[in-house]
Structure 1
Amino acid sequence: MSDEEELKNEHRSHGWVRKAHNVSLEEVNNSVAIPKNAGFWRKLFAFMGPGALVAVGYVDPGNWATSIAGGTQFGYTLLSVILVSNLIAMLLQEMAARLGIATDMDLAQATRSSVGKKPAIVLWILTELAIIATDIAEVIGSAIALNLLFNIPLLMGVTITTLDVLLLLLLQKKGFRIIESIVAVLMFTIFFVFLYEVILSKPDVAALFAGYVPSSQIVTNPSMLFIALGILGATVMPHNLYLHSSIIQTRKYERNLEGRTEAVKFAKIDSVLSLTGAFIINSLILILGASAFHGTGSTVGEVQDAYKLLSPTVGAAAASTLFAVALLASGQNSTITGTLSGQIVMEGFVHLRVVPWVRRVITRLIAVIPVFIVTWLLGEGGTSQLLLWSQVILSLQLPFAVVPLVLFTSDKKKMGTFVNPTWVKVLAWIATVLIIALNIFLVGYILLTGHDLG
């Protein structure tokens, strides 16, 4: 019996056979061609794209204020936290992609197959709340960017963000590769904006590189520890794990042992390269906060504060405008990935298929309504608190995605040849326990003190 036949039999015996009518993201599954008998670089280019969509979750508007505040208050010290966070993200995202390749199922489908219908419905509701929380962050980020760029009132900006449904509909008709290209362009836009602004701010290069070495101050200084936990605890977005396990299946690789092995190799490279890009962007955000604002006496607790102070601090009139452009690009990126994630979990957990634009409208309206009400009643301060609570919801949901992922990918009966090696299994469980502990601490601290992550 071949390894592939053995793998199929193992899946069948444990209820993991993929039904022909129940593939993940059916309209784009197996749709991106992989050139046969091509060289390494051509094949790598064909596989690249899913990593960029996943990397978006690591540079969303919800993380900006924390990184900027960390740089402003503590200089370059917390760069080590960004490094550790990104290494954990690389580990978990590679596992998510490997799950999709090995089983022909995304994480939601695999969870439904293992736990049954009723628990799956509960998990679906929790995951939908996390996606809505992510959407809230995107709505707030886009509305703030529109306000900063065009002086559009926040309430009107929130309303305008509902129109990006039309943008997504247009992109979906052009094919999945177009969506990946648009996301990659927006990511490069964010990167070049922050690279330019960091150069203008003239960072201390020696201190910058020293910041990647962990410091005992991170543990001994309560204020520093809190911001460090904010960076690390909110690093892995739960919807990203569902997303990656699904969109990797858009590649038209051979569904046999050889084809899957090659797909795992290239998916790992794509994931590492893309998340390295996210790591650089997050580093640049914190470096900008450190080089532009640390030691100046400036109070930068929110994105708007950084916008107002950036141009006069670095001495370039365009700096603040470019900062807002990057914020808008970040928000629009989240629009695309949030919609795809919502479709994946709805179809995977409850086998409910809804026309993508319908579920997008529903999700966006659910996110817009609380943002609109809070902005109307409480203004900018209210949106900051709402952003905080959206992060709390994400923290609460995270274990429900990470634990099943580690369990499934560590089970040889489910993964066959593609099971986690022992060293990966050990690292994965250490990372999982760390993430859960930090999220419990963060949520408890926020609920007891009302302290803002920024």
Structure 2
Amino acid sequence: MFKKNIGPGPLIAAAFIGPGTVTICSIAGLEFGFTLLWALVLSIFSTIVLQEMAARLGIVSKKGLSEIIRTEIKEPASKKLIMFLIISAIVVGNAAYEAGNISGGVLGLESIFGEINYAFLGLKINFYSIFMGLIAFGILFSGNYKVLEKSLIFLVMIMSVSFLITAIISGPNLTELLEGVFIPKIPDNSTLIIIGLIGTTVVPYNLFLHTSLSKERWKKNSDLKYAKRDTIVSIVLGGLISMCIVVSSSSLNIEEIN
């Protein structure tokens, strides 16, 4: 029954787990051990609240968040300014985010298969960048929501199992781990890392994505319970992946991540 009512939650979880998340969580674990796990717990709860509101808004109103902003703000100048800022932030933010995602994927492939570069008009072109970009383009523009949904569900499950096994193998001290989860501490020079941990989970453009996908996935107000469950399970799973990365990196015997 639950499988039948899986919604856009896994897409939302996949959207905030990328190279940036892996990097900031690795740095947090490497420099501060389990001490900053509470920040991820806070970000998980915050994300659940915000994304559940976004899903509910889409289902009840049958509109996307940008459409609601456009119709509810009556003053023309304010409407144009807000829409311009939103569109600019989404375009620039998504471009930067995808650049990071593709770069992270390229580094992973290069570590396995080695570098493959080609010279074209005096430019050095990385084969993996083109390859991954074309795959992403094909999936997104196939027009098949189910293909995208199943692809991301598969990737989230693979990441979950991989990082969970790695975290267990690292042999964490359970007492220190629980202290990091339930007792907030702010060590010296950790403020930016804390902001990064929260910022990499509470992602503003996911609100727009979740609202739009929810109104397409669920048509009745009675589906709100399924949307809530889908959101909670997916965000918690995504958050646990981030926490497993922190736990895994805390056991590394290196001084810094380049």
Same fold (TM > 0.5): yes
* In 2, Cα distance between equivalents of 1:282 and 1:234: 10
Match in the other structure for 1:213: 182
* In 1, Cα distance between equivalents of 2:218 and 2:247: 40
* In 2, Cα distance between equivalents of 1:227 and 1:169: 32
Deviation at 1:281, TM superposition (A): 0.4
After superposition, where does 1:383-402 map in structure 2 within 5 Å? none
Distance verdict in 2 for CA 1:121–1:227, change over 3 Å: closer
Match in the other structure for 2:235: 275
Match in the other structure for 1:125: 88
Asked if 1:231 is matched to 2:197, the reply is yes
1:49, 1:177 within 8 Å by CA — same for their partners in 2? no
After superposition, where does 1:31-430 map in structure 2 within 5 Å? 42=1, 44-115=2-73, 116=76, 118-119=80-81, 120-153=83-116, 155-156=125-126, 157-165=128-136, 167-168=138-139, 172=142, 175-216=144-185, 218=186, 221-253=187-219, 259-260=220-221, 262-290=222-250, 292-293=251-252, 296=253, 298-302=254-258
Deviation at 1:55, TM superposition (A): 0.7
Q: Which amino acid aligns with 2:130?
A: T
1:47, 1:251 within 8 Å by CA — same for their partners in 2? no
Instruction: Flag as ranges the 4+ runs of structure 1 deviating above 4 A.
Output: none
Q: Deviation digits for residues 148-177 of structure 1, max 9, x if unmatched?
A: 12112585132333221454168x35x322
Query: For structure 1, which segment, 148-157 or 237-246, has the greater mean C-alpha deviation from structure 2 after superposition?
Result: 148-157
2:7, 2:227 within 8 Å by CA — same for their partners in 1? no
Q: Which runs of 5+ in 2 are unaligned?
A: 118-124
Deviation at 1:300, TM superposition (A): 3.2
Q: Deviation digits for residues 401-438 of structure 1, max 9, x if unmatched?
A: xxxxxxxxxxxxxxxxxxxxxxxxxxxxxxxxxxxxxx
1:93, 1:241 within 8 Å by CA — same for their partners in 2? yes
Q: Which amino acid aligns with 1:276?
A: V
Root-mean-square deviation over aligned CA pairs = 2.0
* In 2, Cα distance between equivalents of 1:134 and 1:110: 25
* In 2, Cα distance between equivalents of 1:150 and 1:85: 36
Deviation at 1:193, TM superposition (A): 1.0
Q: Which amino acid aligns with 1:163?
A: L
* In 1, Cα distance between equivalents of 2:15 and 2:188: 27
Distance verdict in 2 for CA 1:118–1:195, change over 3 Å: same
Bigger fraction of residues in helix: 1
Equivalenced residues, count: 245
Deviation at 1:131, TM superposition (A): 1.5
- TM-score in terms of structure 2 length: 0.87
Q: Deviation digits for residues 176-223 of structure 1, max 9, x if unmatched?
A: 22321211111010011112212221111222122102333x1xx332
* In 1, Cα distance between equivalents of 2:227 and 2:215: 10
Structure exhibiting the larger radius of gyration computed from Cα positions: 1
Deviation at 1:273, TM superposition (A): 0.4
Q: Which runs of 5+ in 1 are unaligned?
A: 1-41, 254-258, 303-454
Distance verdict in 2 for CA 1:215–1:249, change over 3 Å: closer
Deviation at 1:78, TM superposition (A): 0.8
1:68, 1:300 within 8 Å by CA — same for their partners in 2? no
2:64, 2:212 within 8 Å by CA — same for their partners in 1? yes
Distance verdict in 2 for CA 1:180–1:147, change over 3 Å: same
1:48, 1:270 within 8 Å by CA — same for their partners in 2? yes
- TM-score in terms of structure 1 length: 0.51
Deviation at 1:288, TM superposition (A): 0.2
Deviation at 1:121, TM superposition (A): 3.5
Deviation at 1:65, TM superposition (A): 1.1
Distance verdict in 2 for CA 1:158–1:267, change over 3 Å: same
* In 1, Cα distance between equivalents of 2:174 and 2:243: 13
* In 1, Cα distance between equivalents of 2:155 and 2:257: 25
* In 2, Cα distance between equivalents of 1:81 and 1:279: 11
